[in-house]
Structure 1
Amino acid sequence: MSLLSGKKILLGVTAGIAAYKTANLVRLFIKSGAEVKVIMTPASKDFITPLTLSTLSKNPVHSTFYDKESENELWNNHVELGLWADIFLIAPATANTLSKMTNGVCDNLLIATYLSAKCKVFFAPAMDLDMYKHPSTLDSFKKLQNYGNVMIPATSGELASGLIGEGRMAEPEDIVAFIEQEIASSLPLYGKRFLITAGPTHEAIDPVRFIGNHSSGKMGFELAKAAANLGAEIFLVTGPTHQTIAHSFVHRIDVISAEDMYQACHQYFENIDVAICSAAVADYKPKNVASEKIKKKVATFNIPLEPTKDILKSLGVSKKHQFLVGFALETNDEVANAKSKIKRKNLDLIVLNSLRDKGAGFATDTNKVTIIDADYIGKDFTLKSKAAVAKDIINEIMQRIYA
């Protein structure tokens, strides 16, 4: 998932050789889950065809105020296009177009739409070295940014003229990343780093058997998505699970055993702001792990167990500035057990759910929780999807870290 998912992106293409890169740019936007419409200046059609961009964007491409070739000569409303967009990107932005944007020279559909746009406008310059450094171009850069537009700087490299220097349009992947970062910088958790644990752990008995539990990892993964969508950088430490996540702000760290998870958590804990331990970590593990598969030879078989390391308690001992959140899955004396866990493990917040509540617990798409803070004040929530529960938990955390 990308921060561009669900966004409406209007791409303005002007007459520069870098226009060939817009095919890949549109493809990346679509892959990110965005809806894309394209406006081309008439001269830009010499560099890339409208058919290419229309096919990739799955929308008609506009270049004039009305379609002369259409039977009804359809009017392309620049005001509607400007209002439709959440993001307007002009790439490549030639010196000619930049000058028109700066001075309001409204002689084509792209400039008319730019002057009507209500959304944030990005522009990615592309031109030869001397043009890029010319005082008039530098003045355009400055004025456009003063107007509130966001410049995606050109890079250095070999240019169409054969010169080597600044003026090469940023690569499509870098443009997408730049816009995502710009969006993230306005989100409430931007700059915060989260450590989130998810899933079960598997404690080996022999090479083919293990002690485990029914945790699916869904709750932890939903927490990671919810926090990442608010701009946080996530370190998701997960035990064995079929859950997947694709988000540019989420770093997934796969582990198997409680010891693996302990090591991973302590590796990242020092440099994070919030830790949410939602994984169902095994409390015990086999004292000895057989090197070969254990054969069925006797009627009864005993496996000596020993405690695993208490990850949550160890983080509570070592925490300094971190906000620490634990989970408690209980079957009896739920609130009392959860409150005792807050004190014993030095938590700032605990999320309680009970296996006695229908629709809560392992391997479901829903959950019903009570959130209790360090002052033992609890807040009950109704049965919701785990995605909605994750948002509730993240909101409770934000209220406290920004109090």
Structure 2
Amino acid sequence: MEGKILLCVTGGIAAYKAIDLASQLTKSGFEVKTAMTKNALKFVSALNFSAITNQSVHTDLFEDSDPIPHIHLADWADLTVVAPATANIIAKAAQGIGDDLVSTILLSQPKPVLYVPAMNVHIYEHPATQNNLKILKDRGNYILEPETGLLACGYEGKGKYPPNEEVIYAIRCYLKYPADLTGKKVLVTAGATAEPIDPMRMITNKSSGKMGLSIARAFALRGAEVTLIYGIMSESIPYYIKKSIFAPTAKLMYDAVMEHSKDYNIIVQCAAVSDYKPVKPSTQKLKKSGNFNLELVATPDILEHLGKIKPKKQKLVGFAAESEHILENAREKLVKKNLDLICANNLETAGKDETTLNLIRAGTTKATKSVQLTGNKFDVALQLVEYIVNL
């Protein structure tokens, strides 16, 4: 079992999305119990949640079956998640008001709570709401900020309920790790670069960008200020990563990294950067006319240059994707490029959701065993971030 989640559903139009959240969590192996406000019941039925989760649903502070459900539910949960979180429940939680089951659960919960705000943009941006969110965050709770987009009320702006996939990423993070990296600046590169042969053809690789994106997501959820410099990727960038730069060639990625590298506490170079590019890419599509030779030239080595110029307090992390002699090649790269840590993996994991990383830190010898992380790329990313922070 992944963990015990108490899902608190409040009375917003996004309440119907909590049904899908409960479904996805249950399918992923979480045990989910639900608490609902009276207003939530005007949007969705308790039956939806009990049928999907095969667990109890609670709607009343004074239940016949349990005289103190707010205490027992709070104690039961590994993580309490308020989704959607209306301005009303946020205000009650911030000000210590307990006048129904959900608000009283939040008062009874000594552990951090994850709030997923969803509301009209003006309500979200109102100073009272922002102040209440700050109060909750300052107390150690987690806030997964809403998306910006078209809202149910017809307004355009910040207040949209986020994709449930991102809510689940946040849940998986906060079950094990706090949002304790506020003030840290992290630069992550991800994805594959592509070197043009002509306007249609290119030299690239099998990297999906999943590992780099998982690392950026993990740092961001833990509170760090993340800049993502990326090439070609198979997945979209999380909306809460505020600064991202598209750099689809080795030269563009080199320029972007060099421009931004100095001011960061941590740099994780996870992108699969092309080692070679055509000397003279054609400006017109090449016609097929038998065999032809393609002359290649080496691209700039971003990681090696970073190793030469990095400040003393900056942590530099590289990746080594290998097909053979994985640890030996990684150790050589670690030393040659003056890294603090290298993550060695097999090329066979490219594009897949699962991975195995072998972590080798600077100063270790050949006799030192590498630290091995295995599993889903996001879970591995969470462990990797913790390892990097503790270097």
TM-score tier, shorter chain, comes to 0.5 to 0.7
Give the 3-state SS of the residue equivalent to 2:213 in structure 1.
helix
Quickly say closer, same or farther: Cα 1:172–1:334, change in 2 above 3 A. Answer: closer
Give how far 1:322 is off. 1.9
RMSD: 4.6
Tell me the amino acid that sits aligned with residue 36 of structure 2: V
Give how far 1:8 is off. 3.3
What fraction of aligned residue pairs are identical, expressed as a percent? 31
Give how far 1:203 is off. 0.3
Give how far 1:285 is off. 0.8
Calculate the TM-score normalised by the size of structure 1: 0.62
Confirm whether residue 197 of structure 1 aligns to residue 189 of structure 2: yes
What residue is the counterpart of 2:375 in the other structure?
385
Q: Contact 2:196–2:202 (CA<8 Å) still a contact in 1?
A: yes
1:1-400 mapped onto 2 (5 Å cutoff): 8-10=6-8, 22-24=11-13, 26=15, 37-40=35-38, 50-52=41-43, 54=45, 58=49, 62-63=59-60, 65-66=62-63, 77-83=69-75, 86=80, 91-92=87-88, 113=105, 116-119=108-111, 186-246=178-238, 248-249=240-241, 251-297=243-289, 299-320=290-311, 321-331=313-323, 334-354=326-346, 360-377=348-365, 378-381=368-371, 384-387=374-377, 388-400=379-391
Tell me the amino acid that sits aligned with residue 340 of structure 2: D
Quickly say closer, same or farther: Cα 1:78–1:265, change in 2 above 3 A. Answer: same
Give how far 1:311 is off. 1.1
Quickly say closer, same or farther: Cα 1:264–1:108, change in 2 above 3 A. Answer: closer
Give how far 1:186 is off. 4.5
Give the 3-state SS of the residue equivalent to 1:327 in structure 2.
strand
Matched residues, number = 321
What residue is the counterpart of 1:162 in the other structure?
none
Q: Give the Cα separation in 2 of the matches to 1:338 and 1:348.
A: 12
Q: Give the Cα separation in 2 of the matches to 1:61 and 1:376.
A: 54
* Deviation by residue 1:218-245 (Cα, 9 ceiling, x = unmatched): 3222323333343333323222121344
Give how far 1:101 is off. 5.5
Give how far 1:52 is off. 2.0
Deviates more, 1:288-297 or 1:382-391: 382-391
For structure 1, list consecutive stretches of 5 or more residues without a partner in the other structure.
Answer: 13-21, 41-47, 67-72, 125-140, 153-170, 175-179
Q: Give the Cα separation in 1 of the matches to 2:349 and 2:384.
A: 16
Q: Contact 2:254–2:300 (CA<8 Å) still a contact in 1?
A: yes
Quickly say closer, same or farther: Cα 1:114–1:256, change in 2 above 3 A. Answer: closer
Q: Contact 2:191–2:212 (CA<8 Å) still a contact in 1?
A: yes
Q: Contact 1:37–1:57 (CA<8 Å) still a contact in 2?
A: no
Tell me the amino acid that sits aligned with residue 370 of structure 2: D
* Deviation by residue 1:125-166 (Cα, 9 ceiling, x = unmatched): xxxxxxxxxxxxxxxx9xx99xx798x9xxxxxxxxxxxxxx
Give the 3-state SS of the residue equivalent to 1:92 in structure 2.
helix
* Deviation by residue 1:291-311 (Cα, 9 ceiling, x = unmatched): 1111123x3312222221111
Q: Contact 1:224–1:250 (CA<8 Å) still a contact in 2?
A: no
